[in-house]
Structure 1
Amino acid sequence: MSEPLQLPPMPDRETGEPRPPRAPVIRPAKNSRQRWSRFRVPKPPPGEGPPLEWDYGSLKRQIEAFFVTMVIFIGFFTVYDLLDSDRGMFDWATDRTMWILFVVFSFLFSFGVYIGTVAAGADWLMQRKHFIKTYELTSIELEPAINKYTFELQDRYGNEVSVSELALLGNRRLWNLVYNGIRHSVVNGAYIDSRAISRLQLHREVAMRDARRSQSPEAE
């Protein structure tokens, strides 16, 4: 028989202690925190705790994403030409239109790698000016996109946030804070789609939620 699920407590809203344990890594995560910038780190609404973790992207990440995307495009069309007996291996390289498309799509992808700043407090998350309470979520969904997933989150107050997993994993400690809130929200009844359950390893939390529902008077 498995041990009963014990959720880590929500950290203190002011100090952030005790910090949540390390969350599962759904893709490579950064462990470093960027310097505080009062101009770049989102400020939560009045009455909320201070930002504990943040990440506002970097030009280096966007440049890396640009060149990686270019290499993928070049490799794909080189192989395509190689398999086409009527074309030479690098026929695409003589087409100016192809180069323009490579550059445009690579730029658009690199721009999408970081679409805004994120910050997290003990019980909240902000994407730019969009604010949400992470321990009071009512819906958690993962939507696939190019080379990433996007979290679609809603809370009991009607707030909604759409944030890339790339943004959340720009700072591993930020992800730990958000993930703990998601766990609590699921156990407390939040809807979560099957993709998010699997990718975030939340099967036990969902089982606890469903067990609570089956034991509630409304279920009888």
Structure 2
Amino acid sequence: MSDGRARALGWTAAALAVCLLAGLLLGTTRGVSDGAELRVSDSARLSDLVRAAQAKADELAATRDDLAGRVAELQAQAAATDDDVAAVLADTAALEDPAGLTARRGPGVTVSLTDAPRGADGRYPADASPDDLVVHQQDVQSVLNAMWAGGAEAIAMQDQRIVATSAPRCIGNTLLLHGRTYSPPYVITALGDPARLEAALAAEPGIRVYRQYAARYGLGYTQQASDALSVPAYTGGTTLR
């Protein structure tokens, strides 16, 4: 057999092997995927998971509220015929406001923090790193610390009450608070003497640093005093773990 004919037979055998292998892979893929698309975008799946988890959380919250209402009815019925139960419920009710379980309204200060926007050319400052352009957990914590130091009587962040067990956490450019996620701007409202609150905010070192970055890179910081602010009641779990 000549070298040319041997070479041609070799290429033919190789091509046949490749075709057989490709067919085997296609058959295996179809079997594994059961005829559906095997590789789809992860982002769509993640968004679906987030929506499903939030829907489930809302469903459970509705169930919790319904059960809480039924418990309150039973407690009221028991208190009507039992003085000991009535006394315990009275003691419990006296602790609800200090624990943040009642909505509050009054004078105070609102602070809003937000990430830096792009410039008119669609770009960020050339000398900025990604960390320079977003609100960090320490920025949020500096505002909260200053508000407590300024004598805040009640604080809310976004649409939730801040209590002793609250732990706002920034993950990337999102905020996690009491199991819910939020995007900037982050709005923090404190009830109390506006003058004291504003003095405490001005004295907080972390806020001074943040405002320097805000002036340089365009991070958002607004502060507004008001005579009529409101914060909601805390509605999460009260069991300390």
Superposition TM-score tier, normalisation by shorter sequence: under 0.3
TM-score of the superposed pair, with normalisation by structure 2: 0.22
Higher relative contact order (Cα pairs below 8 Å, separated by 6+ residues): 2
More helix per residue? 2
Which structure is larger by alpha-carbon Rg, 1 or 2? 2
TM-score of the superposed pair, with normalisation by structure 1: 0.24
